[in-house]
């Protein structure tokens, strides 16, 4: 039977529209804070309960609304900011109440209390599930207060997909932090379940606000950026090469004072660092200013993504500005090509020269002919690559690997019975076939070649050490011994990092951390896990928090997950040279673990090459 075409009721249409604007509690906070800023607020106060799923309250001291404006504001397509399509293209407003308030009211119990400057009293309107229930007089100072209760009460499918209150609260902290960063002339206060999380007063300069929110120490590692070509301008701060971090934290982009996400701008920033990044990332706060007609902010209902009219010009400006801040010259076209060549690992096209007779060059040309191309992988520079152990160096009498090997033997004897070895991976060779005889050498300070009974194995030193640390933590069953620090260090955290740390303290204490509050967003690290072989500093703790924050609250309280994340951060890194005895100790300890074939995240720790495979590769017969 054919269903007839019908026009949806306004209530259903509003709920569908709300799904595009109101994705989660942080979306509500974003819309309401932006409305407050557009209303000229000098102070914005945000109060959240149960991660925003229970209640959200946003108050401002901006321009309020009359009763007539209030009644229209909760209707779709009602706004005071545009009158014609040209206004939409030129508008620099962050949002429209006629877009946000009806969407929020359609999926919650909404109360708006407001008072305009020209009126002696205020008004209050209640909207439940998209229907106006009541409009009454109310006492209030000039400004607006919006209260949102029982978000998604009438859309159980959307409510079911919300994360835990702590995870949603963290996203709200991230959103308010973004708004507070770029609006230094506005004071912000954020409380979550009655606890103050962010409190910044109005600042005269953007620099003061950035220093306040990112922390003094983090700000000291930033370099100022300022550049413009008459039409476009970019200002802000980026990490100095010596202050790069291991995770993508504290990366903020703004266009015309609107927080955005842009792969184009991100690519321009990273390109400016060339090969300095390796496995690290820059922190940055960059503000791009350009005419409103040069940008389309209506690509997405949440206006988080934007489209530039002249993408190449914007990319060049941002990359050149960051290069200038880093003290790097702007490359010519040839130098840019050579830079890309180095980063991608592909050489310049051949220029007709014949091979010089070396085996490597003949091999590269042969590969090019086989692929039908004139290019192949770049040949390593002389001296780069293999790190042969220097036998002339004096070997220390007892390295930390020796101490760890003896301690590990004791730990395994006392391992709890409840902890059982993992089953070998499908298709994995028996351990006795992989029993290492000797570590031969280290390749690129990353891979260890070790001889085994029937060939050799190539071991990823980072993944191998991850597996070792991970199993050590689990064997302790959450009672990892702590090493008291002779000189405890402080953590000066951003609002987002502080929120993650407070949620993660139970899990961190299980793996040996002792961290105590020191007032505001400052914490003191008094002890670290005793098993960590590398020094743990504030930077590594922040990297750990960034990783925990990405996984949510459930991971923060799961010992196995916390152990896996910590092992990744504490393990020796790719590019770290090891002495011969250290490589041997690492290989021995890897094969003593219960599951040596992969790291806790599932990446392989080793690749096996049998003697028969090697013989086949070299086209050896039966000799």
Domain limits, the chain: 12-198, 206-342, 481-530+534-570
Secondary structure element (H or E) that encloses residue 266, with its range: helix 263-273
Q: What is the average per-residue pLDDT within 518-544?
A: 86
Give the pLDDT of residue 73: 87
- Give 267's pLDDT tier (boundaries 50, 70, 90): very high
Q: What is the average per-residue pLDDT within 308-331?
A: 88
Pick the closest to residue 150 from 21, 49, 30, 36 (CA basis).
Answer: 49
- Give 162's pLDDT tier (boundaries 50, 70, 90): confident
Residue 399: pLDDT over 90: no
Q: What is the average per-residue pLDDT within 169-186?
A: 95
Give the pLDDT of residue 383: 36
Residue 184: pLDDT over 90: yes
- Span 551-561, pLDDT tens digits: 765 555 678 88
Dihedral sign for Cα atoms in the order 163, 169, 172, 173? negative
- Give 315's pLDDT tier (boundaries 50, 70, 90): very high
Pick the closest to residue 562 from 494, 522, 506, 517 (CA basis).
Answer: 506
Would you say 454 and 468 are in contact if contact means Cβ atoms under 8 Å apart?
no
Would you say 203 and 209 are in contact if contact means Cβ atoms under 8 Å apart?
yes
Residue 421: pLDDT over 50: no
Residue 550: pLDDT over 80: no
| CATH number belonging to domain 12-198 | 3.30.565.10
Q: Could you tell me which residue, 353 or 251, shows the higher pLDDT?
A: 251
Least confident of 380-384, 542-546, 606-610: 380-384
Least confident of 265-269, 362-366, 484-488, 568-572: 362-366
Would you say 147 and 177 are in contact if contact means Cβ atoms under 8 Å apart?
no
Give the pLDDT of residue 86: 59
- The three-class DSSP label of residue 35 is helix
- Choose the CATH number for 481-530+534-570 among 3.40.50.10490, 3.40.50.880, 3.40.50.1100, 3.30.1370.100: 3.30.1370.100
Share of the chain above pLDDT 90, in %: 40
- Give 37's pLDDT tier (boundaries 50, 70, 90): very high
- Span 76-122, pLDDT tens digits: 766 665 545 555 555 555 554 457 888 899 899 999 999 999 888 99
Non-local CB neighbours of 377 within 8 Å, separated by 6+ positions? 345, 346, 364, 367
Give the pLDDT of residue 146: 96
Residue 358: pLDDT over 50: no
Give the pLDDT of residue 390: 40
Cα 530 to Cα 411: distance, rounded to the nearest angstrom: 13
Residue 214: pLDDT over 70: yes
Q: What is the average per-residue pLDDT within 284-297?
A: 90
- Span 48-80, pLDDT tens digits: 999 999 999 999 999 999 999 999 888 876 666
Give the pLDDT of residue 95: 52
The tokens describing 565, both together, are 């994340």
- Give 154's pLDDT tier (boundaries 50, 70, 90): confident
**Side-chain half-sphere of 401: how many Cα atoms within 13 Å?**
19
Give the pLDDT of residue 414: 37
| CATH number belonging to domain 206-342 | 3.30.230.10
Q: What is the average per-residue pLDDT within 429-451?
A: 74
Give the pLDDT of residue 188: 97
- Give 411's pLDDT tier (boundaries 50, 70, 90): very low
Give the pLDDT of residue 405: 46
């Amino acid at each position: 039977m054919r269903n007839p075409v019908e026009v949806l009721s306004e209530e259903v249409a509003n709920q569908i529209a709300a799904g595009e604007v109101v994705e989660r509690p942080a979306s509500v906070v974003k819309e309401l804070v932006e409305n407050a800023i557009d209303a000229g607020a000098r102070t914005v106060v945000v109060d959240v309960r149960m991660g925003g799923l229970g209640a959200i309250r946003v108050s401002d001291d901006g321009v309020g609304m009359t009763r007539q404006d209030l009644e229209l504001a909760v209707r779709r397509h009602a706004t005071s900011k545009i009158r014609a399509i040209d206004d939409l293209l030129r508008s620099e407003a962050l949002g429209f109440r006629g877009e946000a308030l009806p969407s929020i009211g359609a999926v919650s119990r909404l109360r708006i209390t407001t008072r305009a400057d020209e009126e002696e009293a205020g008004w209050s309107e209640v909207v439940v599930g998209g229907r106006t229930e009541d409009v009454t007089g109310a006492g209030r100072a000039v400004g607006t207060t919006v209260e949102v209760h029982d978000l998604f009460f009438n859309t159980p499918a959307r409510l079911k997909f919300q994360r835990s209150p702590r995870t949603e609260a963290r996203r709200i902290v991230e959103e308010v932090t973004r708004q507070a960063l770029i609006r230094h002339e506005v004071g912000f206060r954020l409380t979550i379940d009655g606890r103050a999380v962010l409190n910044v007063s109005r600042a005269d300069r953007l620099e003061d606000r950035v220093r306040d929110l990112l922390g003094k120490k983090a700000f000291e590692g930033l370099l100022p950026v300022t550049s413009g070509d008459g039409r476009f301008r970019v200002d802000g701060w980026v990490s100095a090469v010596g202050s790069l971090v291991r995770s993508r934290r504290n990366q903020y982009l703004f266009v015309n004072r609107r927080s955005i996400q842009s792969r184009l701008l991100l690519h321009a920033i990273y390109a400016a660092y060339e090969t300095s990044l390796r496995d690290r990332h820059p922190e940055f706060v960059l503000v791009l200013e350009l005419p409103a007609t040069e940008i389309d902010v209506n690509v997405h209902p949440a206006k988080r993504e934007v489209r530039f009219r002249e993408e190449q010009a914007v990319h060049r400006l941002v990359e050149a500005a960051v290069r200038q801040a880093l003290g790097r010259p702007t490359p010519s076209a040839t130098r840019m090509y050579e830079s890309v060549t180095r980063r991608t690992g592909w050489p310049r096209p051949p220029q007709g020269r014949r091979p010089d007779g070396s085996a490597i060059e003949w091999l590269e040309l042969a590969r090019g002919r086989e692929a039908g191309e004139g290019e192949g992988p770049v040949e390593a520079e002389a001296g780069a690559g293999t790190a042969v152990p220097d036998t002339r160096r004096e070997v220390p009498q007892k390295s930390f690997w020796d101490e760890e090997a003896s301690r590990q033997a004791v730990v395994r004897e006392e391992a709890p019975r409840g902890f059982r070895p993992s089953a070998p991976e499908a298709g994995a060779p028996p351990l006795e076939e992989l029993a290492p005889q000797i570590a031969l050498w280290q390749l690129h300070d990353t891979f260890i070649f070790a001889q085994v009974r029937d060939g050799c194995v190539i071991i990823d030193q980072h993944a191998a050490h991850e597996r070792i640390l991970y199993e050590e933590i689990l064997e302790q069953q959450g009672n990892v011994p702590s090493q008291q620090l002779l000189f405890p260090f402080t953590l000066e955290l951003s609002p987002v990092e502080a929120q993650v740390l407070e949620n993660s303290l139970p899990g961190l204490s299980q793996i040996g951390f002792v961290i105590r509050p020191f007032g505001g967003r400052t914490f003191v690290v008094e002890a670290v896990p005793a098993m960590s072989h590398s020094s743990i500093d504030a930077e590594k703790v922040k990297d750990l928090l960034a990783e925990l924050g990405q996984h949510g609250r459930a991971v923060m309280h799961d010992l196995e997950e916390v152990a896996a994340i910590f092992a990744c951060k504490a393990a020796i890194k790719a590019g770290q040279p090891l002495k011969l005895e250290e490589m041997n100790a690492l290989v021995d300890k890897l094969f003593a673990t219960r599951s040596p074939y992969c790291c806790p995240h599932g990446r392989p720790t080793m690749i096996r090459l049998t003697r028969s495979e090697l013989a086949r590769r070299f086209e050896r017969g039966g000799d």
